[in-house]
Amino acid sequence: YLLYARANPAYGERFVQYTRSPDLHRWSAFRFISIKGVDPTKQPINVYTFSVQSHPLNKSWLLGFFPLHRVYPKRSETSATAALMLACSADGAHFSLPTALLRCRASHDRRTLALPVANGLR
């Protein structure tokens, strides 16, 4: 079993942590998930929610839907991107390079103005 929860790695930043259980009684310590190309230790990242479901064509894979807000402070002008993203995982802890499903606006507090729906793919 896997359980995902929001993590607050730094002031004003959100990411995702997970824990595992073999029996719903004993749980491992929480750890950050990894998303290829997304590193909250290197740039301000906000993944405010994280919805995971089985891949509809391959039940051994998981799909993660999440809103991603990323700030690029090293560019000449501080810029940011916000989008609803999709990433795949074989183990529930390590996710692929995300694909933007829908670009969206961001609020002033670095959140996307759109959120994914659980079980968005059937």
- Asked whether residue 111 is domain-assigned, the answer is no
Task: Kindly state whether residue 52 falls inside one of the protein's structural domains.
Answer: yes
Residue 120 within a domain:
no
Query: pTM value?
Result: 0.84
Q: How far apart are CA 62 and CA 72, in angstroms?
A: 29
**How many percent of the chain have pLDDT more than 90?**
48
Closest alpha carbon to 95 in 82, 86, 105, 104? 86
Question: Closest Cα partner for 72 from 120, 20, 121, 110?
Answer: 110
Average the pLDDT over 54-66 and give the result: 93
| Dihedral sign computed on CA atoms, order 39, 44, 1, 27 | positive
Asked, for residue 116, whether it belongs to a domain, the answer is no
Q: Is residue 110 part of a domain?
A: no
Q: Are 7 and 16 in contact (CB under 8 A)?
A: yes
Q: Is residue 63 part of a domain?
A: yes
Q: In terms of residue numbers, what domain contains 65?
A: 2-103
Count up the domains in the chain and report the number: 1
Segment 82-115, tens digit of pLDDT: 888 899 999 999 999 999 888 887 766 666 666 6
